């Protein structure tokens, strides 16, 4: 039987508050460094993909000032990386829609702001070209990009739910998901057709949504 040395620090004693703080600082620095690396690569990827190029991993890490090892530390493949760029674009769009909706109090005005913000991706020529090129890079077998798109629709439906309730929706969860899917699909139709939506197009979409969620209004 092992004799216990009362002066020997126990496992519980070893991570003192100072030691724990040192560990936290080390982990925090590594996390910050990882976030900066990933952010740089995604920014570079967005720029390269929006130009319509098909960059190699070497092109991406070279422009980001990183190494191939760094790339594969964070992404299993180039397809994973493209999906991350697509998802980042979705987050940017979601934040933009949320900001525009927050500028209004009335439900109808918030819905109009959401429709206008989403369709602006196809309305501005420069943004439309960049968005089209990034989406084109994810077409095919990239299931992760498809998952990112589904998550974007789900998050978008969360923004639309309250305005739809105020407009008279009797089934706001399903209505919001349907409207989000329709708006994203309609925006992409304008993108691929290279046809910027007109004011009449926006009014048609708004009227369609309002009649669909509250036909008796």
Contact between residue 119 and residue 188 where contact means Cβ atoms under 8 Å apart = no
CA distances from 120 to 25, 107, 208 (A): 43, 20, 18
- Distances from the Cα of 113 to the Cα of 79, 95, 100, 182, 207, angstroms: 33, 13, 6, 16, 14
Residues of the chain with CATH 1.10.357.10: 77-217
- pLDDT at residue 9 above 50? no
- DSSP element (H, E) containing 151: helix 143-166
- Report residue 6's pLDDT band, with 50, 70 and 90 as the boundaries: very low
Model pLDDT, residue 5: 53
How many whole angstroms separate alpha carbon 119 and alpha carbon 184?
8
Model's pTM, two decimal places? Answer: 0.80
pLDDT one-digit tens code per residue, 36-64: 899 999 999 999 999 888 899 999 999 99
Query: Does the structural domain 77-217 have CATH classification 1.10.357.10?
Result: yes
Six token digits for residue 41: 């690569």
Which sign, positive or negative, has the C-alpha torsion 127, 133, 138, 139? positive
Q: How far apart are CA 164 and CA 133, in angstroms?
A: 32
């Amino acid at each position: 039987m092992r004799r216990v040395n009362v002066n020997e620090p126990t496992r519980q004693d070893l991570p003192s508050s100072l030691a724990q703080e040192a560990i936290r600082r080390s982990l925090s620095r590594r996390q910050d460094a990882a976030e900066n690396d990933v952010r740089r690569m995604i920014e570079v990827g967005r720029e390269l993909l929006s130009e319509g190029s098909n960059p190699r991993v070497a092109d991406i890490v070279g422009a980001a000032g990183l190494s191939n090892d760094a790339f594969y530390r964070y992404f299993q493949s180039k397809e994973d990386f493209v999906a991350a760029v697509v998802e980042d674009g979705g987050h940017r769009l979601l934040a933009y829609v949320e900001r525009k909706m927050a500028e209004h109090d009335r439900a109808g005005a918030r819905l109009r702001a959401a429709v206008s913000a989403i369709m602006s991706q196809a309305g501005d020529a420069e943004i439309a070209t960049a968005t089209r090129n990034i989406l084109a890079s994810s077409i095919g077998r990239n299931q992760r990009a498809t998952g990112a798109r589904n998550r974007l629709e789900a998050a978008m439906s969360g923004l639309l739910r309250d305005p739809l309730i105020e407009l008279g929706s009797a089934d706001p969860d399903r209505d919001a998901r349907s409207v989000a899917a329709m708006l994203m699909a309609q925006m992409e139709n304008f993108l691929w057709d290279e046809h910027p939506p007109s004011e009449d197009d926006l009014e048609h979409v708004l009227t369609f949504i309002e009649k669909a969620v509250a036909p008796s209004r």
